Structure 1
Amino acid sequence: MKLNKTFLAVAAAVPLFSSAVMADAVSSADLKERVFGSIFAEYYMPDTDKTESAAWNYMEKDWGYGLELGYYLTEQWALRAEYAKLDLSSKLDGSDADGKRLGIAAMYHLAQLPSVYIVGGLNRIDAVRNTTALNLGVGYKHFFNQNFALFAEANRFQGIDKSYADAGIKLGMTYVFGTAAAAPAPAPAPTPVAPAPVAQLDSDADGVLDNVDKCANTPANHKVDATGCTIYQEKMASVGDIDIEVRFPFDSAVVPQSQRVDVENLGAFMQRFPESTVKIEGHASNIGNPAYNMRLSERRANAVADMLKKNFNIDSSRISAVGYGVTRPRVEGSTRAAHAANQRIEAKVTAKIKEPVLR
């Protein structure tokens, strides 16, 4: 198939034509939300493959006519439906090759050249054979007043179910129904009122006058900004020891399911404060070999650290784990109660806090 040269020439000439004629009598805003109807004549140019094919009855280029009905959705977008009668004949013997076209299309008017628009849509063409085609084109519409305009448009019709590329050139007239909405009258300028005098007071003695002070009654020893609000600084500081009550089975470093509540609370805290860090300390009761208990306390500390990494996605750079064995007992002695109290995990958490800057 070959794209018609006449179609290309007209499509290229439409934007040039728009700059050579007088300005439109209406603006894009005047057309918004209005219905329009058009009548047109069209010079229709079948694909070269059609003019040389018996399957298409050797159809020849010829004139047609039609009408459109559309609606301006916005200043730039419009929708339309069209019906076209194609008065075609056979190039071979002059026999009838008439047809018709039904289509729906969207129109986009260029922001810098509102009289120029791009159009694209879907068509059902009944000429010798029934086919479906997409169209893409460019047009120019010139308004002489609020309602009447002339337009020129060039389109290419690309077959979907059959392989062809027809072209068409329209010349027509448009009528836009109704009138443009009247622009609201500008509101009168308010009468200037002299500002009331403002007493030059500084009630909280922070050095910022009350008329610009956004934070009244700031403490006398706080440094404030230009709006009278306390200036804060952030720093990393210890928030204290968090006692994790984890009881391990004898000779085990696996955290039992029933003992995970405090570990989960610690993980949730560290997720909430992403700049916090923690030191996990493992301890053991003074039963058995001290060196073994030291290794056992390290495994227990690492078990808690692994839970924070795997279950709460805490980065390993924020966690340290160390075992102290029996060297730091909480309760002295060898009683059953002392052993239970010393077999534990402790956590030291550091987080970012805000402190006021003092004068």
Structure 2
Amino acid sequence: MKVRTIVGVAFAVALLVASTAAAENRAGFFSLSPYFGGYTFDGEQHIRTAPTFGIRGGYNLTPTWGVETVFGFSPAEETKGSQVDVDSYTYRLEGLYHFMPESSLVPFLAVGAGGTTLDYAAGSNGRDRTDGILTYGGGVKYFITDVVAVRGDVRGIFDLGYSYSNVEYTVGLSYLFGGAAPAARAVPAPQAAPAPPAPEPAPVVEPEPAPLPMAAEPTPGLMKYCITLNIEFDIDKADVRPQYHDEVKRVADFLKEYPSTTAVIEGHTDNVGDDAYNMRLSQRRAESVVNYLVDNFGIDRTRLSARGFGKTRPIADNSTEAGKQRNRRIEAIIDCALEDPKVIAALPDRLCIALKVQFDTDKWDIKPQYRGEIAKVGDFMTRNPTTTAIIEGHTDRVGTADHNMKLSLRRAEAVVNYLVEHFGIERSRLSAKGYGFSRPIAYNSTAEGRALNRRINAIIDCVIKK
């Protein structure tokens, strides 16, 4: 009965619904997790339930899989006879499988093996002994910052020597360190201080392609724009098929005409398959397009970089075949100042303008010093009356998810209202969206990172009549 109870509790915890927040359980990070709680012994051991203390040291192989070493100590006493003290030690290695690692609430299952030692005080009829153990259970981590999580665990501990079934239940904190900072999104628009690339996903069976030289991050300027390439790939392949060479030529022609521009080639997939595998596949596909631009059009490799985002940035519903097809895409994010009217006339699909607009805490009033930033959008849309725009609001992670979602929408709506009232832009050409803290571009654990995450982006559809 006790085994069934532990398994049931573990699965119940694992199936909790996670909130919509940024990826928190990241690959390549180490963790230290001190904990305390209780330890209940099998009734046949005649040892009283005791407090337990310990520490876990872990490493995330991928966002989903991790390993931990665990050491625990429980100062207990016998329940019969002389009732002397009994010190219990457990030490083990466990594997963890995390559900919904991109959420702030991350349930997981755990299994492992190790040993337990009972040390009886003098005067006891019990004998000191050490036995092997198997452990099973689960828990949940709730990230209060990008590197700190509150954690709860339940474990069944099966003694291989005497077939005892014990239970350990604990709470604690997890501290993450090492790894790399999350990558800044290439769209929407450039940020003043781009973040380093995302941590590489864990290796799979096939070997990693030789890394390409990475172009410098596009220089922060006025604008960027995005070309979505209609390229389809064969299943599990990264070769650019001949019928799509003209799509790649669209990027090459623009880069040739404007040699000061640089480009980031992004690969995206649908949601079929493992997270880590899709991340690698999208990276290979982006690199394939980079290679094609270099080999067939003579574009300098230093002007290009490739990034794979796997299935993390869908633009359509993956529950339909049409939606999956839209999500299997390549995008070219090209950086240029766009001051030349000829360049504006040549704009392809979508223009992205990052607005350096800051708000007072919990406010959405537009301060006078930031009106010039909004004028960038107003002036552009006035000169190009066939364009439409989505104004996106983003926040840091201070406060609840619901509050930040509403706050980010109010800030986006404030910018829309300003464009309507001060530039005469028709409201039908504008829409506002709030994303709260669901799309961070930097760590929320520092003041600098939180400032980068509090932002307004304008995504403009460039249907410009010549």
Q: With structure 1 as the length reference, what TM-score do the two structures score? A: 0.45
> Per residue, is there more helix in 1 or in 2?
2
Larger Rg: 1
